[in-house]
Amino acid sequence: MSDPIIRVSGLSNRFGEQTVHQDLALDVERGEVLGVVGGSGSGKSVLLRSIVGLRTPNAGRIEVFGKNLAQMDDRERRSYERRWGILFQDGALFSSLTVAQNVEAPLKEHFDFPPALREELARLKISLAGLPLNSGPKYPRQLSGGMRKRAGIARAIACDPEILFLDEPTAGLDPISAALFDELILTLKEALKLTVFLVTHDLDTLYRITDRVAVLAEGRVIAVAPVAALEHHPHPWIQAYFMGPRGRAAQRAERSELP
Amino acid sequence: MAQAPEIQISEEALALAGDWTIAQVPTLLAQIERLPRTLPERLDLAQISALDPTGAQLLKRVLLRFGLDPQKVAELHLNRAFLDLALRVFAAPSEAPSASDAHGMVYTRLALIGAALDAFQINARLLLGFLGLTLSTLGRTLLNPSRLRATAMVHHMEAAGFNALPIVCLLSFLVGAVVAYLGASVLRPYGGELFTVELIAFSFMREFGVLLAAIIVAGRSGSAFTAEIGSMKSHEEIDAMRALGLDPIEILVLPRTLALVATLPLVAFLATFAGVMGGALVSWISLDIGPALFLSRLQDSMSWEHLTSGLIKAPFFALAIGLIGCLEGMKVEGSAESVGRHTTSAVVQSIFVVILLDALFAMFYLEIDF
C-alpha cells in the first residue's frame, strides 16, 4: 500500500472569504472503492473537481498516477485524462447527441479508430453499463433518470479508464434502481479492475460497496476507515451520521444480508 | 512495462501475446487484418499480459473470425485474471441493431414532407386554440378587472415595448434614408424628385413603420417570452402553478400579450416617425428638398387615413407575436435544448405570421379602398 493512485496533500480551496478546504490530505489506493462523505457544503464535490482538474486549488499538491498533473502541458494532461472517467450528477450527457454518440465522443477525441470499431466499442460499453442495445440511438431526454446515469457510466468507461469518479451516483434514484446501480458499480469495478472515487450521501451505498470511507468536515479529512470502523469513531458528526436513525437502518440491512 | 501485442500464426498454432489494451489498438487492428481464414489446430492465449474491454472486444473478433465460440475458448485457455472481464465482454450482444429505416430515400423524403405538413396543420390548430383560450381568459379577467396583473403588465410593457424603442427607431431611420436615396435615383430621370416625399411617407405610414417594428419586436421580445416561459416550463414551475390553483394563462400569457398589444402601436408610430425623419434628412441633403418644403408636401398629399391604416395593423401583429411566443414557451419540454429549439421556432413563426397578416390587410384595404 505504498503507491497510492491518487495522492492529495496540503490542499486548500477558498471561495472569497469562505474556506472550504484547509490543508487537506487524502490517499486513494489502487483498486479500492473510496467513499467520500460530509455535510452539505463540506466540499466533497470541490475535492472531486480539484482532483480531476476542473478547479484550480488555491494551494496544495495533487498527484494522480504518481504525476502532478497541474505542472503538465495540455497535451500531456490529456493522455492522463483519458485514464479516468467521471460520472456527473444526473449523467451530464450531451443533450444534442444520442447515447451512442455520447459514448463515442471521448473515443473520437482520444483515439483514431475506424468508425466501425468505434461503434462496436460504444455498443459494448452501453451493454456493460446494463442498458439495452436499443438505447444507443436514443437521445438523453428520452431516457429515465436511472438510464441516464447508466448512459453516463457507459461514457465514463468509454476509454477503459483506471479510475472512475462518481458524484452522487444514486441521488434521485428509487431504492430499487439505486441498489441495482450499486451492483453495477461493484461488477464493473471487479471486471475492469477500477479504482472508484465515490462522493455520496447514500448510506446504503456506503455499506454495500465501499472499501474505505473518508469523512470531510472542518475543511479536512477527519477520518478514513472502513465503514464498520467509523461507527465507533468518537467525532460527534460521524456519530450523528452513522448512528442516526438512517445510519442504523442501513447497518441492519447490511448485516442481515450477511450469511 | 507495456508489451506490444503480437499474433503469431503457424501451421499448428495460433498464439496471442502481449498487451491487448486500448492503447495498442492500431497494432492489433493491423495484425488482425493479416490473419488467414483457416484455423490452426492449437490456440494459445496464455501469453496475453494485459486485457481491457477494448482488447477483449478485439479478441472476440479474432475468435469469431475463426468460427469459435468465444466464451468456451476463454474458459479453456484464458488467464484466470482476465476471465471475468472477458466473459462479460463476450456476453454483450455486439450486432448493430437492425436499421429501422427499411424504406428507400424517396419514401423517407416524402414521409418527411408529409410530417412537416402535418406539423404545420397541428401548429395552426394549436395556435387557434391558444388564441381562443387566451381570449376567454381575457373575457373572465375583464369581468373581474382586479385579477389583471397590472404590475407584471407594466413590467412587460417596459421590457418588450419601451426598451425596444432605440433599436427600432434607429433601424427605421436608416431604412427611411435608404428608401429616400432609392426614390431619388429612380425618380430623377423623370424629373420627379419631389415625389420622393410621397414615396417615403406612403411606404412608412402604410407598411414599413409598423412592419419593421413588428419584426424587430418579434425577434427581440417574442423570443424572450418563449425563453422565459420555456425555462419555467422545464423547471416544472408551470405545473407548480397549476397545482396551486393558479392559471398560467392569466399570470403569464395575458400580461405579456396585453403589454405587447398596448405598446406595439406606440412603437410602430415612433418607428414611422423615425423613418420619415430619415427620409427627410436625405431629401434635404441630397435633393435640396428643405424641411419646410418636405412638410408642406406631406400635408398636401397625405391624410390621416394613411397613418391609421398602418397603425391599425399593429395590435393584430402584437397579438400574433405575443401568442406565438407564449405558446412556443408552453410547448417546451425537458431539456434546455428544447428551449433553444422553440425560441427559434417562435421567431420564425411570428415573423411569418406577421408578414402573412400584412398581406391579408393589404388585400383587404384594396377591396375596401382604404
> Helix and strand tally (H, E) in chain B?
17, 3
Phi, then psi, of B11 in degrees rounded to 5: -55, -45
Q: Where are the beta strands (DSSP E) in chain B?
A: 6-9, 13-20, 42-51
8 Å CB contact of A124 and B92: yes
pTM (2 d.p.) = 0.66
Per DSSP, the residues of B301-317 read H--HHHHHHHHTHHHHH
Average pLDDT over residues B76-90: 80
Mutation choice for A interface testing from B1, B22, B335 by most A CBs within 10 A? B22
| Alpha-carbon separation of residue A33 from A51, A150, B168 (angstroms) | 16, 18, 61
Closest approach of chain B CAs to the CA of A244, in angstroms?
Answer: 33
Q: Does A183 touch chain B (CB under 8 A)?
A: no
Mutation choice for B interface testing from A96, A112, A120 by most B CBs within 10 A? A120
Closest CB to B84: pick one of A123, A160, A190.
A190
The reported pLDDT for the residue numbered B2 is 63
Cell numbers found for residue A246:
438512517
Residue whose cell numbers read 424517396: B106
The reported pLDDT for the residue numbered B101 is 54
Give the whole-angstrom CA distance, residue A125 versus residue A85: 13
Mutation choice for A interface testing from B60, B78, B94 by most A CBs within 10 A? B94
Task: Report, as ranges of residue numbers, the positions in chain A whose pLDDT lies below 70.
Answer: 1-2, 255, 257-259
Q: What are B122-170's pLDDT values in tens digits?
A: 999 999 999 999 999 999 999 988 888 889 999 999 999 999 999 999 9
Nearest CA in chain A to B53: A160
Domain boundaries of chain B, sorted by first residue: 6-91, 133-368
Closest CB to B53: pick one of A96, A134, A192.
A192
Q: What angle do CA B193, B196, B202 make, to 5 degrees?
A: 155
Q: Does A192 touch chain B (CB under 8 A)?
A: yes
Q: Please tell me the total number of residues recorded for chain A in this structure.
A: 259
Flag whether pLDDT at B93 surpasses 80: no
The reported pLDDT for the residue numbered B194 is 87
Q: Does A113 touch chain B (CB under 8 A)?
A: yes
- Residue B145's contacts (CB-CB under 8 Å, 6 or more residues apart) are none
Q: What are B333-363's pLDDT values in tens digits?
A: 877 778 999 999 999 999 999 999 999 999 9
Nearest CA in chain B to A123: B94
Other residues' Cβ atoms within 10 Å of the Cβ of residue A122: 24
Flag whether pLDDT at B24 surpasses 90: no
